[in-house]
Each structure stands twice: as structure tokens, then as C-alpha cells.
Amino acid sequence: MRIARLLGGLTLIELMVTISVIAILSAIAAPGFMSIIRDNRLATQANELVGSIQYARTESAKQGVQVTIRSNSAINSQWEQGWSVFTDWDGDGVWDDDGDGNPCELEEDCILKSQQALSFNNTLRTGGNYTQWFAYLPSGLPISSGGLGNDTFKLCSPVGDNTNSRSIVVNTTGRPQTSKGTTSCP
């Protein structure tokens, strides 16, 4: 053993103890690390939604037309399948194309941004006002399929962790505000 130490090697017992310590530390750190990863994913997805909301509001004021954000899901109040942001000249909350093959002509609905479905089985649900769509008027005020301009989005991970979930509230003046934690996750 003395020769092995002089050459900088480890004994078998020292190697086993070192591997055991590393395994124990990894087992302790892994759950906390996974929680951090889930939290960062939720924060990123909340920021994507807020970015789309702010973009719609800005484009509505800039173009002088209603800009609608519509869920890609056929199920009311479930937005995790993604959404589209588009100019909505007739204000009906539905993207209309005249079918002539020329997108975004004058006074024709034009898709400005599309968001893919949320990854990692996260859910994005709304209350009763933004069931299928909501929009911004050129004045910057929101309107919705449910009639009122305000609602709350609840973004949750599949593990149902309410403390790391996100609430994105769009108030009656159209300003989105994000907070950590919700009262309930689906």
C-alpha cells in the first residue's frame, strides 16, 4: 500500500468511500435540482405568454386595429396547445383569410406570431373570460370571448406544485402581471 501512495494512486477502500460519498451527495442534490429546472421552465413559459400579450397590445396600437390572441385548443379555457396572435379586422376573434393566396393584404387578418404547445406537459388554464380568445383594441384596452377584458392564466407543472406555478393576471386596463404561486392547479 505504501508504494501505491507514493505513486499517487488510491487504495480500493479509498475509492469505494469516495464513490459512496459522491452517490449520497448526488441523491440529496437531485430532487432540489429538478425543482429548480421545473421552476425555470415555468418562468420561461410565463415570459413567453407575457411577451405575446405585450406584443399584441403594442401591435394593436401601432396598426390601429384589434389584435387577437386565440388559443389553439378546441377546449375552452385550455391554452397549453399554444396560441396565435393576429390582426382581427372584423373583431370576431377568428382568423379569417380571403383565400386568394396573398396573406396580410390591406384589411385582411394577418398572423403576427404563433406559439407552439407548451412542453413538459405543463398546463395553462384561464378563468371564465378568456375561454377561446382575447384581444386588444387600438386604445390598449382588452376585450374577450367572455365579454370582460380581465382574466387570470394559471401555468402549472404536471406535478401540481402550487408554490412554483405562475399566475398571469391581465387587468381591465390590459396590463399583464406575473406572480409566483397559484391557489390551485388542474
Residues 133-181 have pLDDT tens digits of: 999 999 999 999 878 889 999 999 988 778 889 999 999 999 999 999 8
User: What would the pLDDT profile of 21-59 be if each residue is shown by its tens digit?
Assistant: 888 888 887 777 788 888 899 999 999 999 999 999 999
Phi, psi of 2 (to 5 degrees): -65, -35
Q: Which three cell numbers stand for residue 106?
A: 390591406
User: Which residues constitute the domain of residue 125?
Assistant: 13-180
Q: Does residue 160 lie within any of the structural domains?
A: yes
Q: Does residue 1 lie within any of the structural domains?
A: no
Q: Does residue 36 lie within any of the structural domains?
A: yes
Residue 8's pLDDT is 66
Contact at 8 Å (CB) between 46 and 172?
no
Residue 163's pLDDT is 82
**Whole-angstrom Cα distance, residue 36 to residue 103?**
42
Bigger pLDDT: 163 vs 65: 65
Q: Which three cell numbers stand for residue 66?
A: 384589434
Query: Would you place residue 7 in the very low, low, confident or very high pLDDT band (cuts 50, 70, 90)?
Result: low
**Whole-angstrom Cα distance, residue 105 to residue 34?**
47
Total-model pTM: 0.83
Which amino acid type is present at position 62?
Answer: K
What's the whole-number mean pLDDT along residues 1-30?
75
Q: Does residue 115 lie within any of the structural domains?
A: yes
CATH number for the domain harbouring residue 76: 3.55.40.10
Which residues sit opposite 179 in a β-bridge? Answer: 167
**Whole-angstrom Cα distance, residue 80 to residue 8?**
56
Q: Does residue 78 lie within any of the structural domains?
A: yes
Residue 4's pLDDT is 47
Strands 67-71 and 133-136: antiparallel
Number of structural domains in the chain: 1
**Whole-angstrom Cα distance, residue 42 to residue 51?**
14
Q: Does residue 141 lie within any of the structural domains?
A: yes
Q: Does residue 5 lie within any of the structural domains?
A: no
Q: Tell me the residue ranges of DSSP E strands in 49-165.
A: 67-71, 83-87, 111-115, 123-126, 133-136, 142-144, 151-156
User: What would the pLDDT profile of 97-114 be if each residue is shown by its tens digit?
Assistant: 877 878 788 888 999 999
Which residues sit opposite 153 in a β-bridge? Answer: 126, 168
